Structure 1
Amino acid sequence: MKNKGILGSLLVRIIIAIILGIICSLFFPEWLARVFITFNGLFGNFLNFFVPVLIFSLITPAIAGLGRGAGKWLAITTAIAYGATIVAGFIAYAVSQGLYPFLLGQGGVQSVNDIDEGALEPYFSVEMPPPFEVMTALLLAFAIGVAMTVVKSDTLYTAARELESVIMKIIERFVIPLLPIFIYGMFLDLGMNGNLVDTLVTFAKVIVTAIVLTILYLAVQFLIAGTIAGRNPLVALKNMLPAYFTALGTSSSAATIPITLKSTLNNGVARNVAGFVVPLCATIHLSGSMIKIGLFAFAIVYMSGMEVSLGLAIGFILMLGVTMIAAPGVPGGAIMAAVGLLGSLLGFDESMIALMIAAYIAIDSFGTAANVTGDGAIAMIVNRYAKDSIHSREDQVEVR
């Protein structure tokens, strides 16, 4: 693509969209804001329809392209992603134990209104049910992709690659150009929702701690990935910024996959590895979400004077790392999936769970941004050791 100046940068357009959304929320009349909310509803429904197809179309040829080592790399990638998520949980627990006695004063937990209460309603909506669920797409992609490594059918492989090209064209010509408008509408809606301010004030110190900790954790991830891959960690992290800011607006790892994929390729990751790791990690790598839920949960535990042993905390983190996968790519899905564990393991009542949901969704996008940006670090690590399994004709595709 030709350089169209600074406004041609997706990152710049996203930042402008965020700023304009917040500013316009201060004076827009409700009838005009609902126009953008209606667009967001339609575009969001399309993404829900499109994401399973996207995941299937990217992962299937990627697994087939990795050859007979696909099963091994699937296991390795899953282990790295789950390990990063669990380590993030342990760090969140350690920070809460060491910092909260100084950061938080003594006091009870107050119930707050749901963050969605008072949100603007669209003028109309159109249901767009996906052809299959995200988990079905993943299972189909794994099964067909691995089978293709055994069958070695050039016809099937060519067809999978052509389907991938069609899906990528939809992403480039339709999804990406509309993302800034979608992000603008998200921040416009948040700015006009009065409950957001109350929630931010209630948990301000914990929210700041969560944001800072996710950024520090990202720095560590890219330091490790850069050392292993032999690349400058700062440059690699800079290349992932479009994905980070896109996730800030979409609050969805799955919806950010197209940008995460392009950013990952810009870090020199091979096409097959990026096409395999990025969609997979959008589902199973949840370090940012783990940090937020961990910090919020243990803040409520501390403020309410509850007793949670080290063993119980470890069990909660290990199970949460698996449970969150039940709602991949859905904005706020991680906390909704965690509700059962919060009640059954930590003993949270309805008011505590309500506070968790409201505080989490208030900065949902920061955890999602950490998730998708960390996916790029994992892809760099896998790429470093998977080079011998990649077809030379597709190695090191450059994306401008």
Structure 2
Amino acid sequence: METKKKKLGLVPRLVIAIILGILIGQFLPEVVCRLVVTASGMFSNFLKFIIPLMILAYVTMGIADLSQGAGKLLLITVGIAYVSTLIAGAFSYTVSSTLFPSFMDEGALEQIAATSGKSVEAFFSIPIVPVLDTLSAVLLAFVLGLCFSTLRGRTIGDTLYESMKDFSGMIDKVLNSVIIPLLPLYICGTFVDMTRSGKTFVILGILWKVFLVVIIMHLVIILFQFIVAGSVGKKNPARLLKNQLRGYITALGTQSSAATIPVNLECAAADGISEQIRNFVVPLCANIHMSGSIITITACATAVCLMNQLPINLSTVVPFVATLGVAMVASPGAPGGSIMTALPFLWMIFGRELGDPNGPICAIMVALYITQDSFGTACNVSGDNAIGVIIDTIYHRFIMKETA
């Protein structure tokens, strides 16, 4: 009987890529560094080309599918998930902006500033012009998604819906077969450049503290969500948290909300959520409830702004979080899907020039996010069942009475 070879997970591969990037930048000649940076840059241009297509595919299908459901119950679920995401983002910014400056003394920031303009140049670059810009892709996705939900199955739209579904599957294949496997090369090139310019050791001395704070914020928001759910559903929050443990650990391993759905449904059953509600809420929230991802992205963005002395405040963070709450609908279940969907909107925090999706600032954001993605996913799926308890309570106390 053949034994399946265990594949090295994405996080270990990214850690290896970071270490290799540091070693190459520190010890190998400049020609090798330029070679790695050239390969990384080519992938970066391809990523910039794919991002609008990915948004068009995933957001269109997300809206089209989400709009089919139990009417009022669907709107309530989407509303709660969106508010939860906004609360998580505001919480993350408040904590990050309060704690992170203490990690970054003036000397560290001065050292980072002194490294500007010392980047490694690529041997050559192949410009790839995207078919759509990102804002056009978002707008087209909303138009198509809403039209599919209104017209499909009634007058027109079935054929185009199935075509878009196939297109989404193709983009998913590209994501899993090309983008995710080559992310370590992308990150390696970034750290080669950072090490050669002298940024790496200053930045890494800060990031482990950021990582620890983000995990604690995830746990705090999960506790808050289950306390609220327990209060609404008149259930013991400690028992709900205990029931969720299997789903949390599964998500840590899979790094995918979608892959965790079967286990999360079992956790929901243990919570006493009725079958029809858990079968509706758990798959739905796996695509729309991103509290853990928002915490991580907001914290990483705050850290990057502080490291690069970029202005950041609540007036820029709130529109950013509000936009991501919509744009990340049905973001891919593959590791790093949320940050890939968020890349086109990072300009709202970093500005148009520094927020370029294939620029070094965004590359650092990807590296920061991916290393914490499993914890963010575990936070997402845990919150899904907290919402399930609330929706189950609303359904049996109010909606069933209205229809009786």
- CA distance in structure 1 between the aligned counterparts of 2:3 and 2:63, rounded to whole angstroms: 33
Counterpart code for 1:290: T
Contact 1:59 1:276 in 2 (8 A): no
- Matches of 2:105 and 2:14 in 1, distance apart? 38
Matches within 5 A, 1:244-255: none
- SS class of match (2:123): coil
Q: Aligned in 2, Cα 1:380/1:207: closer, same or farther, shift over 3 Å?
A: closer
1:236 alignment partner in structure 2: 248
2:143 and 2:378 mapped to 1: Cα distance? 24
Deviations 1:289-341 (A, max 9, x none): 4335556878999xxxxxxxxxxx9x93254232475994159746514999x
The structural deviation recorded for 1:57 is: 1.4
Deviation at 1:84, TM superposition (A): 0.7
Letter in 2 for 1:145: G
Secondary structure of 2:7's counterpart equals: helix
- Rounded to whole Å, the distance in 2 between the matches of 1:13 and 1:111 is 29
The answer to whether 1:287 aligns with 2:295 is yes
Listed one character per residue, the Cα deviations across residues 244-281 of structure 1 (whole Å, up to 9, x for unaligned) are xxxxxxxxxxxxxxxx5655657658896368427xx5
- Could you tell me which residue of structure 2 aligns to residue 321 of structure 1? 318
Structure 2: any 5+ residue segments left out of the alignment?
230-239, 266-278, 325-340, 393-404
Which string of whole-angstrom CA distances, capped at 9 and with x for unpartnered residues, describes residues 92-117 of structure 1? 355469xx4xx788989737437663
Q: In structure 1, what is the Cα distance between the partners aligned to 2:257 and 2:115?
A: 31
- Is the Cα–Cα contact under 8 Å of residues 218 and 376 in structure 2 kept in the other structure? yes
Residue number among 268, 284, 290 corresponding to 1:273 in the alignment: 284
C-alpha change, 1:31 and 1:132, in structure 2 (3 Å) is same
CA separation of 1:197 and 1:27: change in aligned 2, threshold 3 A: closer
Mapped to 2, the partners of 1:338 and 1:207 lie a distance apart of: 25
Q: Distance in 2 between matches of 1:117 and 1:126?
A: 22
Return the letter of the residue paired with 2:85: A
Distance 2:305 2:11 in 1: 33
Moved more, 128-137 or 367-376: 367-376
Judging changes above 3 Å, is the alpha-carbon distance between structure 1 residues 162 and 91 closer, same or farther for their aligned structure 2 residues?
A: same
| Unaligned residue ranges in structure 1 (runs of 5+) | 244-259, 302-312, 341-356, 389-400
**One-letter amino acid of the counterpart of residue 239, structure 1:** A
Question: Which residue number in structure 2 is paired with residue 163 of structure 1?
Answer: 164
- Whole-Å Cα distance in 2 between the matches of residues 358 and 141 of structure 1? 28
CA distance in 1, matches of 2:360, 2:59: 34
Give the deviation of 1:211 after TM superposition.
2.2
Aligned residue for 2:46, secondary structure, equals: helix
Counterpart of 2:331 in structure 1 is none
Which whole-Å CA distance do the structure 2 matches of 1:300 and 1:8 have between them? 33
Flag the 1:369–1:163 CA change in 2: closer, same or farther, 3 A.
Answer: farther
Please tell me the residue identity of whatever aligns with 2:343: G
Deviation for aligned residue 1:214:
0.9
CA-to-partner distance for each residue in 1:5-38, whole Å, 9 max, x for gaps? 1136555544444444444444443333433322
1:43 aligns with 2:51: no
Who is 1:254 aligned against?
none
Q: 1:133 to 1:117 in 2, by over 3 A?
A: same
Q: CA deviation at 1:86?
A: 0.2
Contact 1:37 1:122 (8 Å CA) reproduced: yes
Matches of 1:370 and 1:12 in 2, distance apart?
Answer: 12
Measured against aligned partners, the alpha-carbon deviations of 1:224-263 in whole angstroms (never above 9, x if no partner) come to: 66886875346525524565xxxxxxxxxxxxxxxx5655
* 1-structure distance, mates of 2:371, 2:219: 13
Alignment partners' CA distance in 1, 2:107 and 2:16: 40
Q: Is residue 45–residue 126 contact of structure 2 (8 Å, CA) maintained in 1?
A: yes
Q: Does 1:365 align with 2:364?
A: no
Distance change >3 Å, CA 120–CA 299, structure 1 → 2: closer
8 Å contact kept, 1:11–1:242: no
1:82-138 C-alpha deviation (Å, 9 max, x unpaired): 2111011222355469xx4xx788989737437663332222222223232333333
In the aligned structure 1, how far is the partner of 2:98 from the partner of 2:84?
21
Show the counterpart of 1:353.
none
2:82 aligned with 1:85, yes or no? no
Amino acid at match of 2:313: F
Corresponding residue of 2:141: 141
The 1:157–1:23 alpha-carbon spacing in structure 2 relative to 1, beyond 3 Å, is: farther
Question: Residues of 1 paired with 2:41 and 2:308: CA distance?
Answer: 33
Alpha-carbon offset, residue 215 of structure 1: 1.8
CA-atom RMSD in angstroms: 4.9
- Work out whether residues 25 and 193 of structure 2, in 8 Å CA contact, stay in contact via their aligned partners in 1: yes
Answer yes or no: is the 8 Å Cα contact 2:109–2:307 preserved in 1.
no
Q: Normalized against structure 1, the TM-score is what?
A: 0.62
In structure 1, what is the Cα distance between the partners aligned to 2:36 and 2:106? 42
Q: Give the match for residue 392 of structure 1.
A: none
Alpha carbons of structure 1 residues 33 and 143: separation in structure 2 relative to 1, 3 Å: same
CA contact (8 A) 2:296 2:369 kept: yes
**1:217 alignment partner in structure 2:** 217
Amino acid at match of 1:126: I
Question: What is the TM-score normalised by the length of structure 2?
Answer: 0.61
Q: In structure 2, how many angstroms separate the alpha carbons of the residues matched to 1:223 and 1:297? A: 28
Shift of 1:358: 10
Q: Which moves more between the two structures, 59-68 or 4-13? A: 4-13
Q: Structure 2 CA distance, aligned partners of 1:300 and 1:173?
A: 33
Q: What does 1:31-180 align with in structure 2 at a 5 Å threshold?
A: 31-66=31-66, 67=68, 69=71, 74-95=78-99, 100=102, 110=110, 112-113=112-113, 117-153=117-153, 156-157=157-158, 159-172=160-173, 175-177=176-178, 179-180=180-181
